[in-house]
């Protein structure tokens, strides 16, 4: 099988020639490695390891606004985003961390109930449409990649998780939700309108093999009760849109999921990605396969495990895989980005073991 064929078969719970293996290298990873790997790009690292890549392509959409504006400016390692509405202005600040090569929020834009109302206006004003040039670039990239990798594009993030992670921050998100539930729920409705619209357009037009909802779900951020009340209907509707269109939907969920498995089992998505095992997560592959027998599970490791020697990583994977009734619908990955302290030689050794593992179909 080609990497794309192997991925697509796993996503459909069909037989594979070997388990797909996807270490998630990011921009920070090669910078921390020995000289032989430091100057490699991610494509070179994947080729050396022998892994099955997933490559992101653009969403191919654009926002049209009439009464509001969202403007971002970068100055050195600081990015400021201003949200302008008729009755309020909010600012978000992110800083770039050189060691992780990533942006991190340091000031959230929503801090008061008035900010909630202004942000609602920002979301109510937005209209989405296909950007022909951006969609053409995505299609060209998919054609260029051919069978060397599976391709993915992001629809967006559900209202509840985007609220907690990006708009208000964990503490203020819960304070405002408890103190002003009607106002926050009105914001959620406006946010979901945009997400649903994105799902509809991308289900029809995106050339990517997999469409993603980038959730970062964890019961360390929201309670199971909040998840059922504010999340389930939104995700279920988006998953219904992609399924009716015959598209493959994956949900990126990298936190504690065990208490949510009964709800997740009911979502018409094809895959759960970044399925994180203990001790970083709290859900084993057996937990996922038992509760969600029709879902592809992408993950099966955790960041702490990748700090161990290859022999220890392999021994844990062997125990976890042996516990499963079969090995259909599995992609072994690093779950989050590969920790820079894990040497490429370790990743390659694990990859070779995964590719040689006798799968039970």
Taking only the tens place, the pLDDT of each residue in 146-205 is 999 999 999 999 999 999 999 999 999 999 999 999 999 999 999 999 999 999 999 999
Predicted confidence at residue 182, as pLDDT, reads 98
Round the average pLDDT of the chain to a whole number and report it. Answer: 97
Q: What 3-state DSSP class applies to 79?
A: strand
Residue-wise pLDDT tens digits, 197-230 = 999 999 999 999 999 999 999 999 999 999 999 9
Predicted confidence at residue 168, as pLDDT, reads 98
Do 31 and 95 have their domain in common? no
Residue-wise pLDDT tens digits, 47-100 = 999 999 999 999 999 999 999 999 999 999 999 999 999 989 999 999 999 999
Domain boundary (110, 141, 169) is at 110
| The two three-digit tokens of residue 238, written as one number | 């988006």
Do 101 and 218 have their domain in common? no
Alpha-carbon gap, residue 283 to 279, rounded angstroms: 9
Q: Is 119 a domain residue?
A: no
Q: What 3-state DSSP class applies to 178?
A: helix
Predicted confidence at residue 316, as pLDDT, reads 98
The domain spanning residue 294 has which CATH number? Answer: 3.20.20.210
Q: Express as a percent the part of the chain with pLDDT over 90.
A: 99
Predicted confidence at residue 355, as pLDDT, reads 98
* Residue 74 lies in domain: 66-110
Residue-wise pLDDT tens digits, 119-137 = 999 999 999 999 999 999 9
Residue-wise pLDDT tens digits, 39-56 = 999 999 999 999 999 999
Do 204 and 296 have their domain in common? yes
Nearest CA among 150, 260, 268 for reference residue 216? 260
Do 218 and 263 have their domain in common? yes
Domain boundary (110, 139, 169) is at 110
Alpha-carbon gap, residue 358 to 285, rounded angstroms: 17
For every residue of 18-45, DSSP letters joined together read: S--EE----THHHHTS-HHHHT--HHHH
Q: Is 121 a domain residue?
A: no
Q: Is 117 a domain residue?
A: no
Q: Express as a percent the part of the chain with pLDDT over 70.
A: 100
| The two three-digit tokens of residue 192, written as one number | 């979901």
Predicted confidence at residue 29, as pLDDT, reads 97
Predicted confidence at residue 67, as pLDDT, reads 97
The mean per-residue pLDDT over the stretch 255-268 comes to 96
Q: Is 116 a domain residue?
A: no
Do 169 and 208 have their domain in common? yes
Do 56 and 70 have their domain in common? no
Do 95 and 221 have their domain in common? no
Residue-wise pLDDT tens digits, 188-205 = 999 999 999 999 999 999
The mean per-residue pLDDT over the stretch 283-289 comes to 98
The mean per-residue pLDDT over the stretch 3-31 comes to 97
Alpha-carbon gap, residue 81 to 71, rounded angstroms: 5
Bridge partners for 151 per DSSP: 55
Q: Is 120 a domain residue?
A: no
Do 100 and 177 have their domain in common? no
Task: Categorize the per-residue pLDDT at 21 as very low, low, confident or very high, splitting at 50, 70 and 90.
Answer: very high
Task: Categorize the per-residue pLDDT at 292 as very low, low, confident or very high, splitting at 50, 70 and 90.
Answer: very high
The mean per-residue pLDDT over the stretch 266-274 comes to 97
Do 105 and 253 have their domain in common? no
Do 88 and 163 have their domain in common? no
Q: Is 248 a domain residue?
A: yes
* Contact (CB, 8 A) for 215 and 158: yes
Do 155 and 290 have their domain in common? yes
Q: How many domains in the chain?
A: 2
Do 103 and 170 have their domain in common? no
């Amino acid at each position: 099988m080609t990497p794309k064929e192997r991925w697509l078969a796993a996503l459909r719970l069909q037989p594979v020639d070997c388990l797909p293996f996807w270490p998630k290298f990011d921009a920070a990873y090669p910078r921390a490695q020995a000289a032989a790997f430091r100057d490699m790009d991610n494509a070179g690292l994947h080729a050396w390891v022998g892994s099955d890549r997933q490559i992101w392509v653009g969403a191919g959409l654009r926002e049209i606004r009439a009464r509001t504006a969202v403007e971002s400016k970068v100055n050195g390692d600081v990015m400021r985003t201003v949200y302008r509405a008729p009755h309020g202005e909010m600012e978000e600040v992110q800083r770039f961390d050189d060691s992780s090569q990533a942006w991190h929020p340091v000031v959230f834009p929503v801090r008061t109930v008035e900010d909630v109302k202004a942000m609602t206006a920002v979301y109510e004003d937005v209209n989405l449409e296909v950007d022909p040039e951006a969609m053409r670039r995505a299609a060209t990239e998919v054609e260029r990649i051919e069978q060397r990798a599976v391709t993915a594009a992001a629809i967006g993030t559900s209202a509840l998780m985007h609220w907690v992670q990006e708009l208000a921050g964990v503490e203020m998100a819960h304070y405002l939700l408890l103190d002003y539930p009607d106002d926050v729920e009105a914001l959620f409705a406006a946010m979901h309108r945009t997400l649903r619209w994105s799902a509809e357009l991308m289900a029809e037009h995106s050339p990517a093999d997999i469409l993603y909802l980038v959730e970062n779900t964890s019961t360390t951020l929201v309670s199971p009760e909040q998840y059922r009340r504010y999340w389930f209907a939104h995700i279920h509707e988006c998953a219904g849109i992609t399924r009716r269109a015959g598209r493959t939907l994956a949900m990126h969920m990298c936190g504690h999921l065990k208490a949510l498995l009964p709800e997740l089992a009911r979502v018409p998505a094809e895959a759960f990605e970044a399925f994180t095992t203990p001790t970083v997560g709290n859900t084993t592959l057996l937990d996922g396969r038992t509760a969600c027998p029709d879902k592809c599970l992408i993950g099966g490791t955790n960041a702490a495990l990748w700090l161990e020697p290859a022999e220890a990583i392999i021994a844990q994977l062997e125990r976890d895989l042996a516990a499963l009734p079969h090995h259909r619908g599995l992609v072994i990955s690093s779950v989050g980005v590969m920790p820079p302290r894990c040497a490429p030689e370790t990743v390659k050794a694990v990859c070779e073991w995964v590719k040689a593992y006798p799968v039970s179909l």
